A and B are shown apart, each in its own frame.
Chain A
Amino acid sequence: MKAFAHLLERLAFTPARNAKLRLLRHYLDATPDPDRGFALAALTGDLKLRTVTPSLLRGLMVERVDAQLFALSYDFVGDLAETIALLWDTDRDEDVPLRQAVKLLSETGKSGLPAAIAEMLDWLGPSERLAFLKLATGNMRVGLSARMARMALAEMGAPAVADIEEIWHGLTPPYQPLFDWIAGGARPEHAAKAPFRPVMLSTPVDLDQLRAFAPADYVAEWKWDGIRVQAINDDGTRRLYSRTGEDISHSFPDMIDALNFDGVADGELLVRRADQVAPFGDLQKRLGRKTVSRAMLDSHPAGLRVYDLMFWQGRDLRNLPLTERRAVLEGADFGSDRIDLSPLLDFATWDDLAALRADPPSPVIEGVMIKRRDSAYVSGRPRGPWFKWKRDPHVVDAVLLYAQRGHGKRSGFYSDFTFGLWDGDTLVPVGKAYFGFTDEELRELDRFVRNNTTERFGPVRSVAAKLVLEVAFEGLNASSRHKSGVAMRFPRISRIRWDKPAAEADRLETLKAMIP
């Protein structure tokens, strides 16, 4: 528990991804089974334990701390688990194995839980108490995705990330067979039906690069602005995975019901109303939900636009050329009107394709995909067989409003920039960008921020509204959570407009008009 608590604490304060990976890998290297497997599952949200409610925890404190002192403390600390971890009065500081805490939280009956938790807290030091309480409340919040966990595992031994992704969903905590495999043992067999298969990814391309290739060797299709999914029906077991292998079935019961086939399909998940594909923002409302309301299912129905087949009716198609897979795809009956095919585009030259790309039939199209006719379906991102040719990004000229100091390699530099657009005669913040500029430009921006600071709030400075930044972004969603009413996707600073007066920056209504 001490090593786990230390890991949690470091992860919580470490912003950089690579540093997080190193912390996790060192922990996994140094920790015995099954504790490391339980820790991994806890961090990625795959550990299903009895959920301890805040009211149970408050109940523990009532008999131990004066109510007024508790209230003052909670008010100061701002987090219930942390307040309790700090207030708990014990002189002991034992190193209880994580598996013992997991056992307690999975096997103790409801009536015995308060006493069992109190007893465990009595054994532990403050950091471990916090780790235990976070485990109990199921709220780790250390910014570690399942994908990153698998990357750390891949660094430990021979199996690559794609190999691990392929078997991941057949495994359950504490993942003993997986750790044995990494240590040089046998590869775990697919224990579960409908495992995730690593997907084939594309590389970006532009017109100049395309001219080196023969158009006749390629097919092209629209690039829809949804999310890439793998839809599986494996002998009745249905799953929907994101492209990094997260199981998102629970968020899309309507889609799961529609998988009336036998195979593994690769396609774009969209919200579709009749023939109309809805903007990404509509799909986003469906993502990340544990349960979906009836009303949401009716107002935001999911659809799948299939572009490839990896397996069909028991046959592995991945080694066939694309044209043969496509032939199977075009002859396939998916058994649901929620599922349709991504049509191929008609073009003879790259200029034909450029003309199509410049004038897509739907605002939810974000470019074209270009795939070699003879390409086998290989996992990862091989350079060449598949290209994405995205539409040009949107740009607005915005005014720099706030800057925040960066971390790690950008320590000491103001490197996170909040920018705004004119709404009447005031500037409304519309987004935040922290890349797109060169190292030299970062030094210039840093200097500008320091010389034009008007106020400081901890690591944030507000600056005089006089520098215009050209901000490029991929898409735009209406958003009730942002004051401006819009949320940009993938914003970055494409140019610093030292020459442009702030008064000539764009207006909020210009941006709002770009919402699809």
Chain B
Amino acid sequence: MRAEQILHPTEAGLYCPPGDFHIDPIRPVPRALITHGHGDHARAGHGSVLATAQTLDIMAIRYGSDFADQRQVADGEIRVGDVTVSFHPAGHILGSAQIAVTPDNGPKIVVSGDYCRRPNPVCAPFEPVPCDIFVTEATFGLPVFHHPDPAHEMVRLLSSMAEFPERPHLIGAYALGKAQRVIALAREAGIDGPIAIHGALQRLCDYHIAQGIDLGELIPATAEDVPAQLVIAPPSAFASPWVQRFRDPVIGFASGWMQVRARARQRGVELPLVISDHVDWPQVIQTIAELAPAEVWITHGTEDGLMRWCELNAIPARPLRLVGYEDEPE
């Protein structure tokens, strides 16, 4: 069986005809395999969903327990139609997985979903899975993206908090994954006091804690007077009147995009923190070199840069040009 017969892009997302399932479909389908819980990959309304236990939990928190008619926990090798699938840690957020699709006869394809190679205190590390075809994201698929060690960014946060002790520091971080990672990094950097969190983060933080991740003392950032210098909120909160309760805040944003100044300026950010849950350029090319697949497929992002690199290194590559996935999910 040729690769395109095993997996190919459709309007609903990547489709596997012999298994009759979609991976991370952007519209309701009868059978969905889901890599991780971010809203643009994990949507409600599918007939059945196969995902890691944590991803299923996260979907239930976000969409209610009836988000799909049937839910199946991915554990070990699973037969779906005429193919075998298995889930492997992707190092992106809690529960995130790569999905390996192995046909009885034909190339093995690994769909990495969103992934990251840097150690992350809130999720299991990326596991390289040997394959014939590696399907990669290219969110940061340009050689300008060398994301620094997040500990270095925490030093910048701490130095700003010391330089402006009277100003609350409001750090924008996506509600699932990034927010908990920033909190865990802040703890590693030595911030021991209470950290305030926006209401939209409460349930997802509670879930991380229940999964055994130590986030320290979290207090709600809902009172008129919030007794914490560090406040974590989803970026959308900065456009809402919620932020008006803080006096002269330093607004920060934790994202891989913050490496480019024009992006940080667009956001009106005073303290850009380069903290990413995606592979940066050195990581993506290291991963491709390490796996040495016969072919690379690129799902979404700035694929032109990665396409060019593959061309220079004589690695067959093609863009899938999947639509519906955001640069970094809200």
Measuring CB to CB, which residues of chain A are less than 8 angstroms from any residue of chain B? 6, 10, 12-15, 19, 22-23, 26, 65-66, 68-69, 72-73, 76-79, 82-83, 86-87, 126, 405, 407-409, 411-413, 446, 450, 458-459
Contacts and interface: CB of A to CB of B under 8 A. Distances in A.
A515 B202 CA distance: 57
A69 B163 contact: no
Among A15, A73, A78, A82, the one with the most B-chain Cβ atoms within 10 Å of its Cβ is A73
Given A77-B144, A78-B262, A408-B248, A66 B242 contact: no
* Most A CB within 10 A of own CB, among B170, B241, B247, B272: B241
A357 B261 CA distance: 50
Nearest to A84: B144
Contact of A83 (B144, B164, B272): B144
B241 A446 contact: yes
B265 interface: yes
A136 to B, nearest CB: 17
Interface residues of B, number: 43
Contacts of B259: 86
Contacts, number: 93
B105 interface: no
Closest 6 CB pairs of A and B: A412-B243, A86-B144, A412-B244, A459-B268, A409-B248, A73-B144
Contacts of B145: 86
Given A13-B272, A446-B241, 7 more contacts: A66-B308, A73-B143, A86-B145, A126-B146, A126-B148, A409-B247, A412-B241
Interface in B280-330: 302, 304-305, 308-309, 312
Contacts of B309: 69
Contacts of A26: 163
B308 A76 contact: no
A268 to B, nearest CB: 38
18 contacts: A6-B159, A10-B160, A12-B261, A13-B264, A13-B270, A14-B270, A19-B164, A22-B164, A23-B163, A65-B143, A69-B308, A77-B144, A82-B260, A86-B260, A411-B238, A411-B251, A412-B242, A412-B243
A86 B146 contact: yes
Contacts of A22: 163-164
B266 A77 contact: no
A68 B241 contact: no
Contacts of B143: 65, 69, 73, 86-87
A411 B243 contact: yes
A257 B251 CA distance: 51
A15 B248 CA distance: 12
Contacts of A87: 143-144
B249 interface: yes
B271 interface: yes
A76 B302 contact: yes
Contacts of A69: 142-143, 305, 308-309
Contacts of B271: 13
A407 B270 contact: yes
Contacts of B266: 458
Contacts of B170: 411
Which of B148, B159, B261, B312 neighbours the largest number of chain A CB atoms within 10 Å of its CB?
B261
Contact of B269 (A13, A23, A409, A446): A13
B79 interface: no
Interface string B253-267: 000000111101111
A13 B261 CA distance: 9
Contacts of A83: 144
B261 to A, nearest CB: 6
Nearest to B242: A412
Contacts of B304: 72
A72 B308 contact: yes
B246 interface: yes
Interface string B221-259: 000000000000000001111111011110100000001
Contact of A79 (B164, B247, B261, B269): B261
Interface string B71-100: 000000000000000000000000000000
